[in-house]
């Protein structure tokens, strides 16, 4: 785990490159590629499916990217930085000045708490905002987009006479819901900082079959993060060399 000083340096150096920030903190792995060719390992998933050969021993799904939300919870300074970016986008695109933030899951709850604190502070410093009109607006918050819990939260709020007006996430891995979520009351707009597909594949899928056969898989990414970090660092060095070559 990195110290607060190291985290602040990373936040400053990465700026609004949120993918790079989460990569450096061991939260997000994005499989490096040279053009369309992967130059790093795929990763194993905890979820399994029935073995089509013997129907007995389950097989683990495989993915090209990996997100570890538990590590994010170790870095409140990072969550605060991400929350500020979300608030900035909210004010710029939707002009929401006050709302009730509801977090789903541990990461969403921490993010929602910080968002609420930041918005309430903004409200207390701006007397022109009418504080009587905001609490009927519900903003649902997740660290990573998961449609099923969102659907349940939307319905629960409807039963209480509240309408979710916006959804905020740090990572959106879904290829179907990119700008909004379908809901009974109509589409709910979506704000997300990072769009990285986290599709899981069966081991015989064309995109990962060769990796499985050659052993190019990190089956326990949480405990083998050093290997993934090294791959991404080497890819960064190669990319920088290529960039400098093109400049010259």
CATH architecture of 74-195: 3-Layer(aba) Sandwich (3.40)
Output 213 or 99, whichever has higher pLDDT: 213
CB proximity list for 162: less than 8 A, separation 6 or greater: 100, 136, 138
Q: What is the mean pLDDT of the chain?
A: 89
pLDDT at site 161: 86
**Cα angle, residue 36 at apex, residues 11 and 29 outer, rounded to 5°:** 30
Q: How many CA atoms lie within 13 A of 129 on its CB side?
A: 17
Is 128 a residue whose pLDDT tops 80?
Answer: no
pLDDT at site 57: 86
Output 97 or 239, whichever has higher pLDDT: 239
The least confident of 87-96, 129-138, 193-202 is 129-138
Average pLDDT over residues 211-221: 95
pLDDT at site 130: 53
Output 114 or 36, whichever has higher pLDDT: 114
pLDDT at site 247: 76
Confidence of residue 55 (pLDDT cuts 50, 70, 90): confident
Output 236 or 108, whichever has higher pLDDT: 108
**Gap between the Cα atoms of 97 and 91, Å rounded:** 7
Alpha carbon of 135 to those of 72, 120, 131, 157, 182: distances in Å? Answer: 28, 11, 8, 12, 22
Confidence of residue 220 (pLDDT cuts 50, 70, 90): very high
pLDDT at site 135: 58
Confidence of residue 53 (pLDDT cuts 50, 70, 90): confident
Give the tens place of pLDDT for each residue, 74-122. Answer: 999 999 999 999 999 988 888 777 889 999 999 999 999 999 999 888 7
Instruction: Say whether pTM exceeds 0.75.
Output: yes
Q: Compute the CA torsion angle 111, 149, 27, 81 (nearest 10 deg).
A: -20
pLDDT at site 59: 94
Give the tens place of pLDDT for each residue, 139-184. Answer: 999 999 988 899 999 999 989 888 888 999 999 887 777 788 888 8
**Gap between the Cα atoms of 138 and 190, Å rounded:** 13
pLDDT at site 85: 95
**What residue ranges do the domains of the chain occupy?**
4-70+197-247, 74-195
% of the chain at pLDDT higher than 70 = 95
């Amino acid at each position: 785990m990195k110290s607060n000083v190291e985290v602040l340096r990373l936040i400053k150096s990465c700026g609004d490159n949120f993918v790079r920030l989460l990569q450096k903190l061991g939260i997000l792995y994005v499989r490096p590629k040279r053009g369309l060719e992967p130059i790093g390992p795929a990763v194993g998933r905890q979820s399994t499916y029935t073995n089509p050969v013997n129907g007995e021993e389950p097989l683990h799904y495989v993915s090209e990217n990996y997100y570890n939300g538990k590590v994010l919870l170790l870095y409140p300074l990072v969550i605060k930085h991400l929350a500020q970016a979300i608030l900035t986008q909210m004010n710029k695109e939707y002009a929401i000045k006050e709302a009730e933030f509801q977090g789903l899951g541990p990461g969403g709850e921490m993010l929602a708490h910080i968002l609420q604190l930041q918005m309430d502070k903004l409200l207390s410093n701006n007397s022109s905002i009418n504080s009587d009109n905001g609490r009927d607006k519900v903003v649902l918050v997740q660290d990573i987009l998961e449609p099923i819990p969102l659907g349940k939260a939307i319905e629960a709020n409807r039963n209480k006479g509240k309408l979710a007006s916006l959804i905020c996430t740090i990572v959106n891995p879904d290829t179907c819901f990119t700008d909004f979520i379908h809901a009974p009351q109509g589409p709910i707009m979506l704000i997300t900082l990072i769009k990285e597909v986290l599709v899981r594949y069966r081991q015989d899928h064309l995109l990962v079959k060769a990796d499985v056969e050659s052993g190019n898989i990190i089956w326990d990414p949480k405990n083998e993060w050093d290997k993934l970090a090294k791959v991404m660092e080497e890819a960064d060095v190669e990319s920088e060399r290529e960039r400098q070559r093109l400049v010259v």
